[in-house]
Amino acid sequence: MTNKFGIYIHIPFCTTICPYCNFNVYPQKIAQYDVLANCLLSELEKNLTYFGNKELASIHFGGGTPSLLPIKYMEKILTMILKNSIASHDCEITIEINPYEYEMQDVDSLYDLGFNRFSIGIQSFDDVKLKYLGRDSSRRSNILFAEKISNSKIKNINFDLIFGIQDETLDTWERDIKFVSNFDINHVSTYFLTIEESTPFWNKKLRGEIIDFSEDLYIKMVESTINILRKNKIYRYEISNFCRESFESKHNMTYWSNGSYLGIGPGAYSSYVDIENKIYQRWTNPRSPKAYFNFLNENSVSEDKVLNSFDTREYVKDSFMMGLRLTNGINIKQLKKIREFSLNQGTLDELNDEDLILSNLSNIKLTQKGFNIADYIIFKLIESINFKVA
Ligand SMILES: C[S@@+](CC[C@H](N)C(=O)[O-])C[C@H]1O[C@@H](n2cnc3c(N)ncnc32)[C@H](O)[C@@H]1O
Ligand code: SF4
């Protein structure tokens, strides 16, 4: 709800496509980085003015594998952004990186360009897990890569880790989480492996080679994660995200607090929020690189981009959906300033009594127990909203 915004840049190519990944990704062999970069620059040129009244809090190069984008294009993109927006003095500039030496650009060059945060897809320090996940890394190469990055000039580092793979034990996961303390990092994302449709892992599931992960073991793994990382002064602040004090990802906080962001690149989402003028708009770019290139060449982004406008009721519901993922929950008082509503007292009492939420007049948040069934609780709370007639 602040007058800030973030920019997300989607680079949709990877050298190999992991068998569990259902993100908007394509093999690098079809990549045309020059065409992509021109499209990204033209999108920025057209759309940045739309956010002109807001301060830029974060820039996030995501993917896919954005570190594969040639550095000259990164430079052009960053220059265009910084020339045409008001960046905050502590603007977070992140790039997602796979821990593959052959994909890595020179770290000092990235630092010189202005990057100040790395998000590394470590996934695990266990050879069996890495092989199962189809990663092109090993325990040893991950350790070497993590050491190199944590000794670099960039001090704000995140590791992505995956848990919940077939036959994984509590012990294997705890070893992964404990190993994190060997590195000087301040953010960890722990993702529970989801078996996504139209991936090779989905076919494995259909063949009965992957069975549903035990809920009890999932809960034990999450509890262990919280306890082990806490000893290392890294605390949970979102369902899957942990950080040292004040190292929350600024970019992701914009999503979770239902703020404004400009997404550029194939399939990227954008959201524009202007509470004072009651404007809440969202739009999405065409998903495939080809459709995206055509869309831009037809010059149909900008004023005539496909805008979906929502009313303040949708804004409140979306704020519940995103904000309840945060351990601090949502500020009910602030949201009521945007649109008056009440929550069904019976639902609140029931969830409070079962120790699934903590609520008072100004705040609702999920408890640790509640986070284990977060989707269900968030759905129940949204269903219980009664809006006053505007
Ligand atoms: C989309 S990737 C982009 C970054 C980079 N290419 C990488 O693989 O590390 C971001 C993160 O999403 C997570 N991810 C992708 N597919 C997933 C799945 N099916 N279940 C859980 N996490 C997943 C991985 O941990 C990955 O690091
Ligand atoms: S997990 Fe990362 S590297 Fe693997 S296919 Fe998805 S985006 Fe690419």
Q: What is the pLDDT of residues 122-172, one digit of tens each?
A: 999 999 999 999 999 999 999 999 999 999 999 999 999 999 999 999 999
SS3 sequence of 24-69: CCEEHHHCCHHHHHHHHHHHHHHHHHHHCCCEEEEEEEEECCHHHC
Rounded-to-integer distance, Cα 39 and Cα 43, Å: 6
Mutate to test the pocket of ligand 1, among 162, 192, 203 (most ligand atoms within 8 A of CB): 162
Alpha-carbon distances, residue 170 vs 131, 138, 224 (angstroms) = 18, 20, 8
* Residue 150 Cα to chain centre, angstroms: 21
Residue with tokens 């079962």: 354
**pLDDT score, position 307:** 62
Give domain limits for the chain: 4-253, 330-387
Rounded-to-integer distance, Cα 101 and Cα 147, Å: 12
370 Cβ below 6 A of ligand 2: no
Rounded-to-integer distance, Cα 217 and Cα 117, Å: 33
65 Cβ below 6 A of ligand 2: yes
Q: What is the mean pLDDT of the chain?
A: 94
Mutate to test the pocket of ligand 2, among 11, 14, 95 (most ligand atoms within 8 A of CB): 14
**pLDDT score, position 22:** 96
Task: Determine the distance separating the centroid of ligand 2 and the alpha carbon of 24, expressed in angstroms.
Answer: 9
Rounded-to-integer distance, Cα 306 and Cα 263, Å: 14
**pLDDT score, position 14:** 97
**pLDDT score, position 81:** 97
Look at residue 2 and tell me whether its pLDDT is greater than 70.
Answer: no
Rounded-to-integer distance, Cα 17 and Cα 23, Å: 10
Q: What residue owns the CA closest to ligand 2's atom 6? A: 21
Of the pLDDT bands very low, low, confident and very high (cuts 50, 70, 90), residue 309 is confident
Task: Determine the distance separating the centroid of ligand 2 and the alpha carbon of 63, expressed in angstroms.
Answer: 7
Q: What residue owns the CA closest to ligand 2's atom 4? A: 18
Contact 123, 131 (CB under 8 A): no
Rounded-to-integer distance, Cα 78 and Cα 98, Å: 21
164 Cβ below 6 A of ligand 1: no
**pLDDT score, position 304:** 42
Q: What residue owns the CA closest to ligand 1's atom 10? A: 121
Which atom number of ligand 1 is nearest to the Cα of residue 63? 3
Rounded-to-integer distance, Cα 375 and Cα 280, Å: 24
Number of the ligand closest to the Cα of 134: 2
The fold of the 4-253 domain, in CATH, is: TIM Barrel (3.20.20)
Question: How many C-beta atoms surround the C-beta of residue 26 within 10 A?
Answer: 16
63 Cβ below 6 A of ligand 2: yes
**pLDDT score, position 159:** 98
For the ranges 46-50, 99-103, 268-272, 352-356, the lowest mean pLDDT is seen at 99-103
